[in-house]
Amino acid sequence: MKNIHGESFEILLEEESSTVLFKGALRLCGTEDYAPILNLLKETLSNSAMPIVLDLRQLEFLNSSGITMLSRFVIEARDHAGIEIQMLASEAVPWHARTLKNLQRLMPSLSIRLI
């Protein structure tokens, strides 16, 4: 298990299940500050045997630099053969449905489970 955390957020990578869990509010200042999180996400791309799960259900806020970070990851994953991504989102969090749908336009095979 690896984790990155800050004052308002926590991100956990469970390597065995290729699952990344996001919690809290992510409002970091641009590409450079998001680089460690993007690198953590990219670690999942080395194992294409199982679907990558991004569990965003407890991510209440993501600024546009964070959206850019997720779109960078999705674009990179799209270019890897055999990678499947599933995003777990929450109906109770207002931004999830609309914003995540834009990521699906980048990678049509991306599956979003709105729970």
Partner 1 sequence: MTISKTLSDCDERTREREYLTLAFSPSSAPLRSRWRNNGLSADFLGDYVTTFLPTKDGVPAFEERQKELRHAVTYIANELLENAMKYHQPDVEIPIKIHLELASDQVTVSVSNGVSVVQAGRYKAFVEHLQEGDAGDLLLKQQEENARASESTASSLGLLTMVSDYDARLNWRFDVHPTQSESMTVTTSAVLSLRNAPGASA
Alpha-carbon distance 71 to 107, whole Å? 9
Nearer to partner 1, 16 or 98 (CB): 98
Specify whether the CB–CB gap between 45 and 78 falls below 8 A. Answer: no
12 binds partner 1 (CB under 8 A): no
- Strand order across the 2-5 sheet: 2-5, 9-14, 19-26, 52-62, 85-89, 111-114
Least separation in angstroms between CB 32 and partner 1: 8
Least separation in angstroms between CB 100 and partner 1: 10
Structure-block tokens of residue 21? 């869990």
Nearer to partner 1, 2 or 105 (CB): 105
Structure-block tokens of residue 60? 């209440």
Q: Give the CA count within 13 Å in the CB-facing half-sphere of 80.
A: 20
36 binds partner 1 (CB under 8 A): no
Among 48, 58, 63, 86, the residue binding partner 1 under the rule CB under 8 A is 63
5 binds partner 1 (CB under 8 A): no
Binding site for partner 1 (CB under 8 A): 7-8, 25, 27, 29-32, 61, 63-65, 67-68, 71-72, 75-76, 94-95, 98-99, 102, 105-106
